[in-house]
Amino acid sequence: MIYLDNNATTATDKRVLGKMLPYFCEIYSNPSSVYKFAQSARKAVEDARASLAKLLNCEAEELIFTSGGTESNNTAIKGVAFAHQNRGKHIITSKIEHHAVLHVCEYMQELGFEVTYLDVDKYGLVDIEQLKKSLKKETILTSIMLANNEIGTLQPIKEIVKICHGNNTYVHTDAVQAVGRISVDVKDLGVDFLSLSAHKFYGPKGVGALFSRKGIKFQPLLLGGGHEKGRRSSTENVPGIVGLGEAAALALESMEEDEKRIRPLRDRLESGILKTIPEAFSNGHPSQRLYNTSNICIRYIEGEGILINLDFEGICASSGSACTSGSLDPSHVLLALGLPHDVAHGSLRFSLGKDTTALQVDKVIEVLPSIVQRLRSMSPFWQQK
């Protein structure tokens, strides 16, 4: 199998699993209990918090463990909106956010909040001038993703923070595709909230974290026993949290090396495809882009058809986001770039990981042209062009 869908999820690193295993059947205590047996579980949770804090350059207390990127995004947006609505009910986001941000914003609109969805340019960069014009006294939060999951474009978060803070507006960033892959320094970025998820960087699924700058109030999403200093109730997912901590430690060690190896493979894949397939082009920013992501539009055929044929060859890739596959709507991200519907339908996303090899990349370059040729020969659009 050739797995080129690492933006959907990654394999849990065996070293991560190894660290997690004792916390199921041996050190299974509830970290909040009073006896000594509980202290080793508590220590494991706090060690993981310190490890993640080191990766992000923040204080350990500024991190709240959650069930993943979706919960972190929900907590930040609803939490700030509910806690600061007396000051205003306006939120700014972009048209290319993950559904775990967009659908929350749409929900906030139903509750009477006003939401501005910023446009992006053809590379997927948010319109900074439109951001400046959209900010008003009532704007309490701007939520812009750090790295886009479909096209990999990296947003100028630092600049966005400066502009928003000048208007007393908090900034949240969905950094799920960035943390563990590229250096993410919350102090340098200046953001107030940041979401991350373990399973996007070789940790387990179902665990993530929210960075929440010290002193900034938000309403917790989950109420209950008051865990995580009242910010997220529910007994800690100790094995998952340990896994997240270990994934963070490994990322800190290997991120630079991973980039050095993966970027040339991604470039080789992309240029190999664009060289051999006519009427194809890549999406996303040429340089301000995640080094593992290649999104390619192949005109006159549908991405889904290509995917099925790649699957016959043992190659896993995606078209649009995993969450929308199964629906026939083209990707909202590609539409926001200004691509027409029919072209957006012909998109493929390859996302490489640390186990991707040159041999695998070459196999894709080898099999894709004949798949495309076969599908195009059956396509009325190709014949009429």
Ligand X SMILES: *Cc1c(COP(=O)(O)O)cnc(C)c1O
Positions marked active-site: 323
The nearer residue to ligand X, 70 or 379, going by C-beta atoms, is 70
Q: d(Cα 17, Cα 204) in Å, to the nearest integer? A: 8
Residue 208 binds ligand X (CB under 6 A): yes
Size of the site for ligand X (CB under 6 A): 14
Q: Scanning residues 219 to 278, which ones bind ligand X (CB under 6 A)?
A: none
- The CB-of-73 to ligand X minimum distance in angstroms stands at 6
Contact region with ligand X (CB under 6 A), list: 66-74, 156-164, 239-247, 333-341: 66-74
The nearer residue to ligand X, 98 or 289, going by C-beta atoms, is 98
267 near 362, Cβ under 8 Å?
no
Q: Scanning residues 304 to 363, which ones bind ligand X (CB under 6 A)?
A: none
The nearer residue to ligand X, 70 or 356, going by C-beta atoms, is 70
Contact region with ligand X (CB under 6 A), list: 164-172, 196-204, 229-237, 240-248: 196-204
Relative to beta strand 114-118, strand 139-143 is unpaired
Nearest position to ligand X, beta carbon: 69
The nearer residue to ligand X, 169 or 173, going by C-beta atoms, is 173
Residue 68 binds ligand X (CB under 6 A): yes
Residue 177 binds ligand X (CB under 6 A): yes
Q: Among 63, 102, 176, 344, which residue sits at the site for ligand X (rule: CB under 6 A)?
A: 176
Residue linked to tokens 């990766």: 55
Residue 295 binds ligand X (CB under 6 A): no
Q: d(Cα 165, Cα 31) in Å, to the nearest integer? A: 37
Task: Using CB under 6 A, list all residues that contact ligand X.
Answer: 68-70, 98, 100, 145, 149, 174, 176-177, 197, 199-200, 208
